[in-house]
Amino acid sequence: MSEDCIFCQIVDGEIPGRIVYEDDDAVAFLDANPMAPGHTLVVPRTHHETLGDLPADEGEAVFAALHRLAPVVEAAVDADASTVAFNNGEAAGQEVPHVHGHVIPRFEGDGGGPIHTVAGSRPDLSDEDLDAIADDIASAAE
Ligand code: 5GP
Ligand code: ZN
**Which sign does the torsion angle of CA 67, 65, 48, 105 carry?**
positive
Residue 7 CA: which ligand is closest? 2
Topology of domain 6-141 in CATH is HIT family, subunit A (3.30.428)
Mean pLDDT of 77-83: 98
Residue 1 has pLDDT above 90, yes or no: no
What is the rounded CA–CA span in Å between residue 72 and residue 18?
Answer: 15
Does 32 score more than 90 pLDDT?
Answer: yes
Atom of ligand 1 nearest to the CA of 33: 12
Ligand 2 center–CA 98 separation, angstroms: 5
Q: What lines the ligand 1 site, CB under 6 Å?
A: 6, 17, 29-33, 87, 93-96
